């Protein structure tokens, strides 16, 4: 029996990679795109052209993809009753990857997309005669504001609160999924990726790298605070020790600072860690997990890297992207600078720099074995996916241009 697959979010950062994997095993797919968002087929085709797909593959896309414009925030996805039920009856498997990852967003707006959008996708699944299996893309960060310990796949509670409205909206969407599965006696696969990254250089026709939002916020705040150089060029900057030796302290909060490089104190842990996973590997793992026999209820998997990235590595990356000197401190300063005060308007932006928790992925590793293990994610990889072509840097991110003196500790 041929199972027809529908996918939401197909033009997004993860969705495009899921689409590529699904096209490996399905002759045709239905792509549910946001009404009025432009020519989805063109954007999908351009992604594959820009990422080196064979010409024969891209030429065949119009015959393999059916585009249906929808509105996740509307009942019946904004479709007529007849069109909604025709669509529902045609689907044998439903992937829900669409959603807002706006860390700055307010909860009502995020709920419209992430919660109500999930509700309406579940209504589509319930209406179909083929009783499609639902594959729901959530996030590992439904674990909330608990910063230490181990987050397990079976856990879903709000006891520790959340770092931002995005996390809460995804948590509420998962609650809907569980309630729907119980009500209808239907299986659902919940996939919880960590922070997804790529080494594909930025391009105006490609979806933005998720970490680029942090770069933009820091850059805009720096400009608003009167430090100029909004494009990151920092022409007045005097090379300092951080250029030759990333991670080398240069004087503490009141110590010397390179010209044009203001200092920012932000709450973080020097031994903190973040889970960053290659988006291509995440898509591969998700599609393979979807091929497993479902339990009949909600099967949840953490799609995460087996090795976390140290917070100091992330700090070094940000310092290379934006002319700032970032200091990790235990608590917010009592005397914030204008720049630090501006950054306080973006809750959840830097809160992850204090995380030391680990995401358990025992189920994935036991189901997929060694093939679930990812290649390392280091500074070289992250820089490649964020540095615009032609941007100057002090040297290869992982290689000092001069020998570094030993770091002295008090």
Tens digit of each residue's pLDDT (9 = 90 or more) over 366-383: 999 999 999 999 999 999
Residue 391 has pLDDT above 70, yes or no: no
Residue 177 lies in a domain: yes
pLDDT tens per residue across span 266-309: 999 999 999 999 999 999 999 999 999 999 999 999 999 999 99
Residue range of the domain that includes 113: 5-198+274-303
Residue 284 lies in a domain: yes
Residue 258 lies in a domain: no
Q: Are strands 273-274 and 309-310 parallel, antiparallel or unpaired?
A: antiparallel
What is the predicted pLDDT for the residue at 207?
Answer: 92
Mean pLDDT of 179-207: 96
Tokens for 252, please give them: 């503490």
| Residue among 47, 386, 259, 344 at smallest CA distance from 23 | 47
Residue 35 lies in a domain: yes
Residue 86 lies in a domain: yes
Residue 331 lies in a domain: no
Residue 353 lies in a domain: no
Residue 233 has pLDDT above 50, yes or no: no
pLDDT tens per residue across span 107-117: 999 999 999 99
Which has more confidence, 403 or 347?
347
Residue 162 lies in a domain: yes
Mean pLDDT of 96-106: 89
The CATH number of residue 160's host domain is 3.40.50.720
Q: How many domains does the structure of the chain reveal? A: 1
What is the predicted pLDDT for the residue at 167?
Answer: 95
What is the predicted pLDDT for the residue at 348?
Answer: 59
Tokens for 250, please give them: 């240069």
What is the predicted pLDDT for the residue at 239?
Answer: 37
Which has more confidence, 216 or 200?
200
């Amino acid at each position: 029996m041929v199972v027809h697959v529908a996918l939401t979010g197909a033009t997004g950062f993860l969705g495009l990679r899921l689409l590529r994997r699904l096209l490996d095993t399905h002759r045709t797919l239905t792509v549910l795109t946001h009404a009025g968002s432009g020519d989805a087929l063109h954007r999908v085709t351009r992604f594959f052209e820009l990422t080196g797909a064979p010409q024969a593959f891209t030429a065949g896309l119009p015959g393999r993809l059916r585009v249906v414009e929808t509105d996740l925030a509307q009942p019946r996805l904004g479709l007529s009753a007849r069109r909604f039920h025709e669509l529902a009856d045609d689907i044998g498997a439903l992937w829900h990857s669409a959603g807002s990852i706006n860390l700055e967003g307010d909860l009502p707006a995020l709920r419209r997309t992430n919660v109500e959008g999930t509700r309406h996708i579940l209504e589509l699944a319930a209406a179909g005669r083929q009783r499609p299996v639902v594959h729901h893309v959530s996030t590992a960060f439904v674990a909330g504001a608990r910063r230490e310990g181990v987050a397990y796949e079976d856990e879903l509670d709000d006891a520790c609160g959340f770092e931002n409205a995005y996390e809460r909206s995804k948590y509420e969407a998962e609650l809907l999924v569980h309630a729907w599965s119980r009500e209808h006696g239907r299986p659902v696969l919940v996939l919880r990726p960590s922070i997804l990254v790529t080494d594909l250089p930025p391009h105006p026709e490609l979806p933005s790298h998720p970490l680029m939002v942090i770069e933009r916020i820091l850059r805009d705040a720096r400009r608003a605070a009167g430090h100029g150089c909004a494009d990151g060029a920092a022409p007045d900057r005097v090379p300092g020790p951080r250029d030759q030796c990333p991670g080398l302290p240069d004087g503490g909060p009141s110590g010397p600072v390179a010209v044009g490089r203001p200092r920012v104190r932000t709450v973080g842990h020097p031994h903190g860690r973040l889970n960053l996973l290659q988006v291509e590997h995440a898509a591969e793992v998700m599609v393979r997990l979807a091929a497993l026999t479902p339990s009949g209820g909600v099967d949840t998997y953490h799609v995460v890297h087996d090795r976390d990235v140290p917070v100091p590595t992330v700090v070094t990356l940000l310092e290379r992207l934006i002319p700032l000197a970032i200091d990790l401190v235990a608590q917010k300063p009592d005397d914030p600078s204008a720049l630090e005060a501006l950054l306080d308007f973006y809750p959840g932006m830097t809160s992850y720099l204090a995380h030391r928790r680990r995401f358990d992925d025992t189920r994935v590793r036991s189901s997929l074995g060694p093939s679930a293990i990812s290649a390392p994610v280091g500074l070289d990889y992250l820089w490649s996916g964020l540095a615009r072509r032609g941007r100057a840097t002090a040297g290869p991110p992982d290689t000092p241009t001069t020998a570094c003196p030993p770091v002295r500790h008090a």
